[in-house]
Amino acid sequence: MSTFGISDALCARVPALQAWLEHAYLDIAPVAAHLPRDKGSIYVMLASEIAFATCRDVLIDYRPGAPRYIRAANGLPARVEFGPADVEFACALVAELLRPSGTPAVGDGASARLMALASRIATSDATVLIQGDTGTGKEGIARFIHARSGRRDRDFIAVNCAALPETMMEAMLFGHKKGSFTGAAQSSDGLFLAADGGTLLLDEIAELPLNLQAKLLRALQEGEILPVGATHPVPVNVRVIAACNRDLAAEADAGRFRSDLYWRLNVMPLAMIPLAERRGDVLAIAASMLLGFDEKHNNGGEFVWPTAECVGALKGHEWPGNARELGNVLQRALVLRDGERIAVGDLSLMSLPAPTVPPRTTAAPQPYQAQPAAPEPIYAPAQRGRPTRLQDIARASKLDAVRHALREADGHRALAARKLGISERTLRYRLAELRTMALA
C-alpha cells in the first residue's frame, strides 16, 4: 500500500475522516504538516496549512454551507470543502482522491482485510478461483492480484469463455497451426502464449466445454499446451485466474464441470459477496464512479455532489445488480437531475427493474469490490463472414489498456506506464504497435 499522511490538525478537526481513511485500504498515519516529509508522500491537511502543501496533496476546508470539490490545477493541490451535513460522502471522496490507480474502491473494514489477503496471494504463482455474483468485482480483484505480483511487467489478458465462439474456442485459447482446419490460413499463438510470463483471466470458466476442460487441466499441471494441428507441446509460463458467477463445486457435483479441474483451480479461493451485504463499500464505489464521470463528461464544470438524503438512500438500497446497477443509477441521475446536486428523487430507485441474480456461492467470503473504472474486456467476434484472428484479439487487449492509460494520464508517458504497471520501455513498444496498426 502507498503511504499517506493526515495532519494532526485535520485529525482533531474532522476525526471522522481519519476513521474512514483507515478503513479504506490506505496506509494512513497522522503527521505534523510543518515537519520535513519523505519525497513523494501525499498529505491530507487543512486548507489553512496550504503553506506546507505540495500539488499532490488534498486540502480540506471544513465549514458550513454547500460542499465543493476543486480539482488540482496550476500547481495548486485539490481542495474539498464541506460541512457536517456532507461529511460522510466527503470522506469517501477524499479516499478516492488518494487511492492509487488499479486499487479497487473499498470503504469497509472487512473489504480492506480481503484486499490484504489478495496482496498476500499475489506474491505467489498459485492458481486463483474467484466466485461471486455478476457485478461484484471479480475482474477487478484479478487485475489487482496481477498488479501486485511479480508478473506485473508482463501482460494481463482477460477472456470471457462465454463470449468465445464454441467452434473456435480451442484454437483461440491454445493456438493452431497453419492449415489445421478450414480457414486457418496462418498459424496463431493463442491466448495462453499471448499471456506467457503474465496472467490469464478465464472469466465464466463454467462455460468451458468438458473436452477443453481436460486440455486446460493438462496446461495447468504440466505447464504446456498443444496447439490445434500440432504434434509437439509448447511450454508456457502463465498464471491462471479463473472466475465464475456460479457455485463451481455444485457444477462439478452435477457433472457439468470436471471435479479434477475444479480442485486444480481451487488452490486460492476468493469469494465475492453482493454489494447489499457490504454497505461500507457503497459510498466508496459511488465516489469513485462520480469522479470517473466527472473526468470524462463534465468538461471542467462543477463536481456534482449527492445530498445527505441521497447518500442515505444509496446506503439503504439492496442493489440486486451490484456495482453495475449503482453505476447506472448514478449516471442516469447526473443526466436527469433538476438541481445542482443529486437528490433522492433523481435516483429513481423504485422504478429500476431488478435483474435476475445467479445463485450465490456457498462459501462465506470476506467482502470486496473492484475499481469500477477499470474496463471489462469483452472479446467481440469478428465481423460476420470474416475469420477471427487470435493475434489481433490479444493485441487489442493490450493496446486498449494503453489507450485508456494515456487518456487518464493526459498523454504523459511516464505516468501512463506507472498506471499500467509496466516500464516506459515496454510502453514505447506498445505505442509502436499502435502506430503500426494505424498505418495498416
Indicate which CATH number applies to the domain containing 91: 3.40.50
Cell numbers representing residue 72 in the block: 488540482
Task: For residue 433, tell me if it sits in a domain.
Answer: no
CATH number at residue 299: 1.10.8.60
Residues 270, 364: Cα–Cα separation, whole Å:
10
Q: Of 100, 117, 142, which residue constitutes the final position of a domain?
A: 100
Instruction: Give the whole-number percent of the chain exceeding pLDDT 70.
Output: 82
Task: For residue 416, tell me if it sits in a domain.
Answer: no
Residues 132 and 245 in one domain: yes
Mapped onto helix, strand or coil, the DSSP state of residue 167 is: helix
Res. 382 pLDDT band, cuts 50 70 90 = very low
Residues 213 and 299 in one domain: no
Task: For residue 238, tell me if it sits in a domain.
Answer: yes
Task: For residue 399, tell me if it sits in a domain.
Answer: no
Task: For residue 212, tell me if it sits in a domain.
Answer: yes
In this prediction, residue 181 carries a pLDDT of 62
Cell numbers representing residue 231 in the block: 504434434
Query: Region 6-32: what's the mean pLDDT?
Result: 93
Residues 77 and 17 in one domain: yes
pLDDT digits (tens, 9 = 90+) for 414-434: 777 777 767 766 776 677 666
For residue 402, pLDDT beyond 90: no
Length of the chain: 440
Residues 201 and 340 in one domain: no
In contact, 152 and 101? CB cutoff 8 Å: no
Res. 351 pLDDT band, cuts 50 70 90 = very low
Residues 224 and 113 in one domain: yes
pLDDT digits (tens, 9 = 90+) for 121-149: 999 999 999 999 988 899 999 999 999 99
Residues 70 and 57 in one domain: yes
**Which of 19 and 411 is assigned the larger pLDDT?**
19
Residues 181 and 211 in one domain: yes
Range in 114-118, 286-290, 347-351 the model is least confident about = 347-351
Residues 263 and 295 in one domain: no
In this prediction, residue 397 carries a pLDDT of 65
Report in angstroms the alpha-carbon separations of 254 from 162, 269, 349, 361, 364: 19, 20, 38, 15, 21
User: How remote is the C-alpha of 110 from its chain's centroid?
Assistant: 18
Q: Which amino acid is at 384?
A: R
Residue whose C-alpha cell reads 498506471 in the numeric block: 419
Task: For residue 240, tell me if it sits in a domain.
Answer: yes
Res. 200 pLDDT band, cuts 50 70 90 = very high
Range in 142-156, 174-188, 225-239, 355-369 the model is least confident about = 355-369
Query: Region 245-261: what's the mean pLDDT?
Result: 93
Residues 284 and 267 in one domain: no
For the chain, the domain total comes to 3
Residues 383 and 246 in one domain: yes
Task: For residue 358, tell me if it sits in a domain.
Answer: no
Residues 176 and 220 in one domain: yes
In contact, 105 and 284? CB cutoff 8 Å: yes
**Which of 56 and 406 is assigned the larger pLDDT?**
56
For residue 199, pLDDT beyond 60: yes
At a CB cut-off of 8 Å and minimum separation 6, what does 329 contact?
314, 347, 348, 349, 352
Q: Of 74, 100, 126, which residue constitutes the final position of a domain?
A: 100
In this prediction, residue 383 carries a pLDDT of 39
**Which of 361 and 82 is assigned the larger pLDDT?**
82
Cell numbers representing residue 285 in the block: 464505489
In this prediction, residue 396 carries a pLDDT of 65
pLDDT digits (tens, 9 = 90+) for 257-274: 999 999 999 999 998 988
Whole domain around residue 333: which residue ranges? 276-353
In this prediction, residue 123 carries a pLDDT of 93
pLDDT digits (tens, 9 = 90+) for 307-332: 999 999 999 999 999 999 999 999 99
Q: Of 36, 66, 100, which residue constitutes the final position of a domain?
A: 100
Residues 22 and 36 in one domain: yes
Task: For residue 311, tell me if it sits in a domain.
Answer: yes
Beta carbons within 10 angstroms of residue 253's beta carbon: 12
CATH number at residue 258: 3.40.50.300
